[in-house]
Structure 1
Amino acid sequence: MSSTASTKSSNPPLRTLDDVRNQVAYEVSVRTKTKAESVDGVRLGVMLTLSKSDDEGFLRRVAGMLAHQLLFQEHVFALATTGPSTRNNPKSNTLLLCGWPEQYVQRAVLLASSKLLGRISVASNDGNIWVAIVRDIGGSPFDEQALWDVVRKSARAPMDPLSPPPGSRGIEQILSDARARLQRLTPAQAYAELREPEVGAPTFLVDIRPAEQREREGGIHGSLIIERNVLEWRFDPRSEHRLVIVDRYDLRIIVFCSEGYTSSLAALSLQELGLLNATDIIGGYQGWKNAGLPVDISESTAPSVIEIME
């Protein structure tokens, strides 16, 4: 073999511009993967890189290489090109969201659209890849932080709709907790207390039922009619909308509803305003009627009916 032929065979082939672009895209993809985090088993990351002559094409190369490196592994990434801009001449850059499966990308799209409100001019969605032209992305640290927030939240496993959030309580637990803080009265106890000729503090029987229930079920003459939606405003001594009689915190407020459920929550709410003598009637109006108590309390021992609603 001649020396000339040997020299030709040992020379490596010339690199094309496409080879260079692939090499740069590969290096960016490796850097992006190295910095990636994991949330609920999903790999995620953000990479901001300087603007190229073909921003979208370059970012698609990076996305393709990431997909190849993370084959069949769940992932979502935000890739963006950045460049100089001025106040009078903001630069539009390219943002690409990619991932697998597609649901992560679609979640990220919705979140990113809210974060970058008013800055997206053109967008295309191919399922696993979403590309947008975004004005002046990367111009402040907020953008990178915002994109990290987008991919982290899009990667979180969906909440089981049947699994209650931590710290929440069911209504039965809420009701039980409320009643544990009240000294509830039977209808007979409430009636006896209202008929006491002398009491230490003003005592009021308060009907919080809506008008429809009162019309259908009847009422107790002498009770204050204050519907539930305005109760706190009428009985808060600090409120400018309070009743004239609400001039002290030791008032004895006996609340009743139809069956004694809503009234327990209402009484606790009054206690939280500082009216620590507030309570309710076990069984509500129905319990009162079933106990054979009169629906008309003697006017000599109780005030006239007062109806206060918005």
Structure 2
Amino acid sequence: MPSTMKDLVAEARANVATVTPEEAQGSGELILDVREPAELGQSGAVPGAFLVPRGTLEMRADATAETAESRLTERMGNGRVHVLCAAGGRAAMAADTLRRMGYDATVIEGGMAGWKKAGLPVET
């Protein structure tokens, strides 16, 4: 039977841990935002977060690729990556992908909506 997006997100969530927005902010670890650039203009950004849209994640996270982003690849085996999207679905799939690539990745509960609900800082 084919999988739905909901199925894929549920499977990814089963494979990765979550952290609260407060835990992610206070960790000193990399916060990876996998939303599209236009979304940042609409809902703001987490200060200091690194933007890699979900659609380009694999080519940016692969240290052997010419398109690799060192700010991300230097975390492989050397720290945790907390992944954020609008509400959590894309972040779960991205964190699971990163996990399969050898990263220690978690999902920030509630995504950007959860971040804002927690009253944490947002850049506009």
TM-score tier by shorter-chain length is: 0.7 to 0.9
Per-residue deviation, 1:253: 1.2
| 1:210 to 2:44 alignment | no
Distance in 1 (CA, whole Å) between partners of 2:21 and 2:39 is: 19
| 1:293 to 2:120 alignment | yes
Q: Match for residue 45 of structure 2?
A: 219
| 1:266 to 2:91 alignment | no
Contact 2:75 2:81 in 1 (8 A): no
From the CA coordinates, give the structure whose radius of gyration is larger: 1
Q: Match for residue 179 of structure 1?
A: 13
In structure 1, runs of 5+ residues without a counterpart are: 1-165, 195-202, 297-310
TM-score, normalised to structure 2, is 0.87
| 1:252 to 2:80 alignment | yes
Deviations 1:26-67 (A, max 9, x none): xxxxxxxxxxxxxxxxxxxxxxxxxxxxxxxxxxxxxxxxxx
Query: What's the % identity of the aligned pairs?
Result: 31
Structure 1 residues 247 and 288: CA distance shift in structure 2, 3 A:
closer
Per-residue deviation, 1:248: 5.6
Deviations 1:246-290 (A, max 9, x none): 246214111101111111001111111121x11211110110000
Q: Which has the higher strand share?
A: 1
TM-score, normalised to structure 1, is 0.37
Distance in 2 (CA, whole Å) between partners of 1:295 and 1:248 is: 24
With CA pairs under 8 Å and 6+ residues apart, which has the higher RCO, 1 or 2? 2
Quick one: which amino acid aligns to residue 227 of structure 1? P
Per-residue deviation, 1:177: 1.3
Distance in 1 (CA, whole Å) between partners of 2:17 and 2:33 is: 18
In structure 2, runs of 5+ residues without a counterpart are: none
Per-residue deviation, 1:192: 2.1
Distance in 2 (CA, whole Å) between partners of 1:255 and 1:169 is: 23
Q: Match for residue 111 of structure 1?
A: none
Distance in 1 (CA, whole Å) between partners of 2:42 and 2:50 is: 18
* Superposition RMSD in Å: 1.6
**2:109 is matched with which residue: 254, 263, 282?**
282
Q: Which has the higher helix share?
A: 2
Distance in 2 (CA, whole Å) between partners of 1:285 and 1:174 is: 20
Distance in 2 (CA, whole Å) between partners of 1:187 and 1:221 is: 13
Instruction: Number of aligned residue pairs: give it.
Output: 121
